[in-house]
């Protein structure tokens, strides 16, 4: 039996047998939840459930008022050192616990180092060999982190162990490790860092080990080398952080460093069943928290619980406050990656990290990239910017244009006309299509004239060349007056357009053009018999008489001439260009006070500057003269036509030589003489001698009728 060489083991075993035998039947029973009053810290070590503090190793009840540890997980919390030293937790009675991890299912503990030394006084080898026994407890030596470690220069140490089942015929496990230092000088053969047999040896342990003891082989002693390396050491310890130092082999540094103890790791597990079996026993199943999972122990029978992915807390507690709770990953950006253009959104059991708007990829993987390459973005932005500027400037122009339009409308008396609603007010855009070269039909003193169709009617649009110089309501009033002049022998004003600087006027279209052109167009002389000429004279006079007769708004034409007498398809005359034509300066020759055609101008008006109805009568006399002579009235020619005619008529009482050969037929001479005498009266320099337009019209009508007979 190896036990006879162990100092501590028999005592420990006796204690274990008594304690564990009493405890184990409880393992399969219900696992009630711990009291909230349980102490959860001992010294600086946290003690989470299923661990708990108990008063003595054989007591699982903990505090008086309840159960604090799961069966087998009780720790004592003893005061160490004299007079208020530190409190430390102990497992299995005397094994100090330095940390517990629920997630890994591990506990970190401290372990005595065994040694085998040469006593220079007694000249004998002295052994101090330890054992550790967790048989019957939930703990198993972790096979992944622990290694049996032997230090010395002439040493062979054995590790003996078992899975905890006693009485089955001795230990199932035994292994050993040899550490040697060869060479002339021991010190030079050793090197820091490596534990590969020279001064240091490590060996792995099997799974499921719950008990071990150390044994030094007496065949390897340090008698010969005690001046350099007096002691050998052996311990099962956590090797993950161990680095060999040469001083460990040549001095007591190794055993002195940590008070003769070395850390080791225990895997622990709940019960001795697998998850599948345990789950079927809800009374004892330990993974009670919502969102917890069960994992089979990798190191032996039993299982541990863990919070599901995305949750943290204690999976062994039902209480939702301390059980597994959702992790708010977004609050832990150093652990849960969501950068590079990701937007973190926590959800139960995880988090989402979609790429920000307009980015594509995986933010968690750091591959969020822009849809658009920089060049495209720059292009889009530039084009967008330009477009915006264009739109803005367009709107500004549009606004200005609209404002201008409104200003013109106001200036040209739009508001007044709108109130009167007598004629149609055309929009600028309605007239625009008409004002093109192909529609141009002439240029008068008023401006350019275009022919077009509006509201299915042929119209003539008059567009002034120069801007209007009128006050706003002056123009409007004139338009109102003209629009009220409705007579078959007066050109009808249909509407106007005020949305431009100089208002445009829309008249009915008169097909044959002016009497002036018909009389004097040498290229294409139209035959006009006396009857037609009388009719033209009579109807024109009728139109003028109507204008002069209007009671409330007597209208003077001011510019009566053959060019202003238009003829329709049936050679019915229509007077045009009155009123407004006087308001809008025709050519620069005209002063503000004297407007009209010099060729037809009443000399009295020229002298006195006062325009009267009789001025129109004078001008009409010239028109009659032109009709009978078919000759142009020319002011530049010293008014030869009028002067000669009047002189001839004065001397001979007749003016036959002036008559147009076309109509000077013997039978008609009397009528022509009558016509001539009307003209003479009209052309009288004594204003009072001139007949009224009404009289002229009546006499012409009579003449016209007599002619037809």
Annotated binding site: 463
Min CB(360)–ligand NAG separation in Å:
30
Cβ proximity to ligand NAG, 192 vs 553, nearer residue: 192
3-class SS of residue 63 = coil
Cβ proximity to ligand NAG, 309 vs 650, nearer residue: 309
* CA 578 – CA 558 distance, rounded (Å): 7
3-class SS of residue 418 = helix
Q: Which of 6, 12, 75, 125 binds ligand NAG (CB under 6 A)?
A: 125
HSE-CB for 255 with a 13 A CA cutoff: 21
Where are the strands (E) in 348-455, listed by range? 350-352, 359-360, 369-370, 424-425, 440-443, 447-454
- Of residues 264, 266, 346, 336, the one with CA closest to residue 302: 266
* CA 597 – CA 449 distance, rounded (Å): 19
Cβ proximity to ligand NAG, 42 vs 431, nearer residue: 42
114: contact with ligand NAG by CB under 6 A: no
* CA 325 – CA 349 distance, rounded (Å): 9
The alpha carbon dihedral of 22, 25, 28, 31 has a sign of negative
Min CB(177)–ligand NAG separation in Å:
18
Cβ proximity to ligand NAG, 258 vs 393, nearer residue: 258
Min CB(119)–ligand NAG separation in Å:
3
93: contact with ligand NAG by CB under 6 A: yes
Min CB(76)–ligand NAG separation in Å:
5
Cβ proximity to ligand NAG, 122 vs 593, nearer residue: 122
Min CB(242)–ligand NAG separation in Å:
9
82: contact with ligand NAG by CB under 6 A: no
Own/partner long-range contacts of 648-652 (Cβ < 8 Å, ≥24 apart): 649/676, 649/677, 649/680
Q: Which of 2, 35, 61, 94 binds ligand NAG (CB under 6 A)?
A: 94
Cβ proximity to ligand NAG, 18 vs 119, nearer residue: 119
Min CB(301)–ligand NAG separation in Å:
6
How many residues sit close enough to ligand NAG to count as binding (CB under 6 A)? Answer: 36
Tell me if 419 sits within 8 A of 492, measured CB to CB: no
Cβ proximity to ligand NAG, 306 vs 482, nearer residue: 306
Interacting positions 217-256 with ligand NAG (CB under 6 A): 218, 221, 223-224, 227, 241, 245-247
The region of 184-192, 625-633, 642-650, 673-681 touching ligand NAG under the rule CB under 6 A is 184-192
The region of 303-311, 357-365, 568-576, 685-693 touching ligand NAG under the rule CB under 6 A is 303-311
Interacting positions 44-63 with ligand NAG (CB under 6 A): 56
Q: Angle at CA 552, nearest 5°, toward 551 and 557?
A: 75
Q: Which of 71, 114, 306, 562 binds ligand NAG (CB under 6 A)?
A: 306
The alpha carbon dihedral of 170, 172, 173, 174 has a sign of positive
Interaction pattern, residues 265-294, with ligand NAG; x per rule: CB under 6 A: -------x-----------------x----
* CA 289 – CA 299 distance, rounded (Å): 24
121: contact with ligand NAG by CB under 6 A: yes
HSE-CB for 319 with a 13 A CA cutoff: 10
Q: Which of 51, 90, 116, 134 binds ligand NAG (CB under 6 A)?
A: 90
Backbone φ and ψ of 11, nearest 5° = -60, -50
Q: Which of 4, 122, 456, 636 binds ligand NAG (CB under 6 A)?
A: 122
Cβ proximity to ligand NAG, 104 vs 175, nearer residue: 104
Q: Which of 112, 542, 559, 597 is catalytic?
A: 559
The region of 31-39, 88-96, 401-409, 447-455 touching ligand NAG under the rule CB under 6 A is 88-96
Cβ proximity to ligand NAG, 161 vs 208, nearer residue: 208
CA 176 to chain centre: 73
Interacting positions 581-620 with ligand NAG (CB under 6 A): none
Q: Which of 39, 44, 191, 339 binds ligand NAG (CB under 6 A)?
A: 191
Q: Which of 9, 16, 27, 54 binds ligand NAG (CB under 6 A)?
A: 27
Q: Which of 31, 76, 232, 704 binds ligand NAG (CB under 6 A)?
A: 76
Q: Which of 170, 320, 385, 442 binds ligand NAG (CB under 6 A)?
A: 320
* CA 319 – CA 341 distance, rounded (Å): 38
The alpha carbon dihedral of 400, 401, 406, 409 has a sign of positive
Tell me if 581 sits within 8 A of 446, measured CB to CB: yes
Own/partner long-range contacts of 49-57 (Cβ < 8 Å, ≥24 apart): 49/314, 49/316, 49/317, 50/270, 50/286, 50/316, 51/75, 51/100, 51/107, 53/77, 53/89, 57/15, 57/19, 57/92, 57/93
The region of 190-198, 377-385, 491-499, 612-620 touching ligand NAG under the rule CB under 6 A is 190-198
Tell me if 704 sits within 8 A of 538, measured CB to CB: yes
Q: Does the active-site annotation cover 328?
A: no
- Of residues 155, 260, 268, the one with CA closest to residue 201: 155
Copy the structure tokens of residue 454.
């509006």
Tell me if 641 sits within 8 A of 631, measured CB to CB: yes
Min CB(202)–ligand NAG separation in Å:
16
Q: Which of 44, 86, 194, 295 binds ligand NAG (CB under 6 A)?
A: 295
Copy the structure tokens of residue 136.
């019957």
Own/partner long-range contacts of 14-20 (Cβ < 8 Å, ≥24 apart): 15/57, 15/93, 16/92, 16/133, 16/135, 16/136, 18/58, 19/57, 19/58, 19/93, 20/135, 20/136, 20/137
The DSSP output letter for 604 is H
The region of 302-310, 343-351, 535-543, 687-695 touching ligand NAG under the rule CB under 6 A is 302-310
3-class SS of residue 13 = helix
Annotated binding site for ATP: 463
Min CB(159)–ligand NAG separation in Å:
21
The alpha carbon dihedral of 268, 269, 272, 273 has a sign of negative
Count the Cβ atoms, other than its own, within 10 Å of residue 667: 8
165: contact with ligand NAG by CB under 6 A: no
Min CB(110)–ligand NAG separation in Å:
11
Cβ proximity to ligand NAG, 181 vs 611, nearer residue: 181
Cβ proximity to ligand NAG, 338 vs 560, nearer residue: 338
175: contact with ligand NAG by CB under 6 A: no
Min CB(225)–ligand NAG separation in Å:
7
Which positions touch ligand NAG (CB under 6 A)?
24, 27-28, 56, 76, 78, 90, 93-94, 103, 105, 119, 121-122, 124-125, 190-192, 218, 221, 223-224, 227, 241, 245-247, 272, 290, 295, 304, 306, 309, 318, 320
Residues annotated as part of the active site:
559
């Amino acid at each position: 039996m190896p036990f006879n060489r162990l100092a501590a083991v028999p005592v420990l075993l006796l204690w274990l047998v008594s304690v564990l035998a009493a405890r184990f039947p409880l393992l399969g029973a219900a696992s009630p939840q711990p009291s909230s009053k349980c102490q959860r810290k001992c010294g600086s070590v946290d003690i989470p459930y299923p661990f708990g503090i108990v008063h003595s190793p054989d007591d699982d009840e903990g505090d008086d008022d309840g159960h604090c540890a799961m069966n087998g997980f009780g720790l004592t919390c003893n005061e160490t050192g004299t007079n208020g030293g530190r409190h430390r937790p102990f497992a299995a009675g005397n094994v100090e616990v330095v940390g517990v991890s629920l997630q890994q299912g591990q506990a970190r503990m401290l372990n005595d180092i065994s040694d085998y030394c040469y006593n220079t006084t007694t000249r004998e080898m002295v052994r101090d060999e330890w054992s550790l026994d967790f048989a019957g407890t939930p703990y198993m030596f972790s096979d992944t982190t622990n290694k049996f470690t032997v230090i010395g220069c002439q040493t062979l140490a054995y590790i003996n162990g078992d899975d905890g089942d006693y009485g089955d015929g001795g230990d199932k496990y035994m292994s050993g490790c040899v550490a040697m230092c060869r060479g002339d000088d021991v010190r030079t053969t050793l090197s820091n860092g490596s534990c590969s047999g020279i001064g240091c040896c490590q060996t792995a342990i099997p799974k499921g080990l719950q008990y071990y003891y150390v044994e030094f082989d007496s065949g390897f002693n340090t008698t010969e080398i005690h001046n350099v390396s007096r002691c050998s050491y052996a311990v099962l310890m956590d090797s993950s952080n161990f680095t060999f130092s040469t001083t460990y082999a040549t001095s007591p540094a190794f055993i002195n460093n940590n008070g003769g103890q070395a850390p080791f790791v225990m895997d622990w597990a709940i019960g001795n069943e697998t998850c599948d079996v345990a789950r079927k026993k809800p009374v004892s199943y330990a993974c009670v928290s919502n969102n917890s999972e069960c994992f089979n122990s990798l190191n032996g029978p039993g299982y541990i619980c863990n919070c599901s992915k995305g949750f943290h807390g204690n999976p062994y507690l039902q209480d939702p406050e301390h059980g597994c709770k959702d992790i708010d990953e977004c609050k832990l950006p150093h652990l849960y990656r969501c950068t590079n253009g990701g937007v973190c959104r926590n959800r139960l059991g995880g988090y989402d990290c979609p790429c920000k708007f307009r980015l594509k990829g995986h933010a968690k993987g750091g591959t969020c990239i822009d849809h658009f390459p920089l060049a495209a973005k720059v292009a889009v932005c530039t084009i967008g910017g330009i477009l915006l500027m264009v739109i803005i400037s367009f709107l500004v122009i549009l606004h200005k244009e609209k404002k201008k339009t409104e200003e013109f409308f106001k200036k040209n008396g739009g508001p007044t006309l709108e109130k009167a609603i007598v004629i149609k007010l055309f929009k600028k855009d309605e007239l625009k299509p008409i004002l093109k070269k192909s529609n141009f039909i002439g240029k008068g003193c008023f401006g350019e004239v275009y022919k077009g169709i509006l509201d299915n009617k042929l119209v003539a649009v008059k567009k002034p060349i120069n801007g209007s110089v009128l006050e706003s309501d002056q123009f409007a009033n004139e338009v109102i007056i003209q629009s009220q002049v409705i007579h078959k022998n007066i050109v009808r004003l249909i509407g106007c357009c005020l949305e431009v600087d100089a208002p445009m006027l829309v008249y009915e279209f008169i097909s044959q053009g002016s009497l002036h052109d018909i009389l004097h167009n040498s290229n294409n002389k139209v035959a006009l018999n006396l009857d037609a000429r009388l009719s033209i004279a009579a109807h024109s006079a009728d139109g003028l008489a109507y204008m002069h007769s209007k009671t409330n708004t007597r209208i003077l034409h001011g510019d009566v001439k053959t060019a202003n007498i238009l003829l329709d398809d049936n050679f019915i005359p229509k007077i045009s260009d009155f009123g407004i034509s006087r308001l809008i300066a025709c050519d620069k020759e005209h002063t503000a006070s004297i407007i009209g055609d010099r060729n037809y101008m009443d000399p009295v008006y020229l002298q006195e500057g006062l325009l009267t109805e009789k001025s129109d009568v004078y001008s009409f006399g010239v028109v009659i003269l032109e009709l009978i002579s078919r000759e142009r009235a020319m002011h530049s020619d010293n008014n030869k036509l009028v002067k000669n005619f009047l002189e001839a008529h004065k001397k001979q009482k007749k003016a036959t030589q002036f008559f147009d050969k076309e109509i000077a037929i013997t039978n008609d001479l009397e009528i022509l003489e009558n016509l001539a005498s009307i003209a003479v009266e009209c052309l009288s320099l004594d204003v009072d001698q001139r007949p009224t337009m009404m009289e002229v019209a009546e006499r012409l009508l009579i003449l016209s009728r007599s002619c037809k007979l």
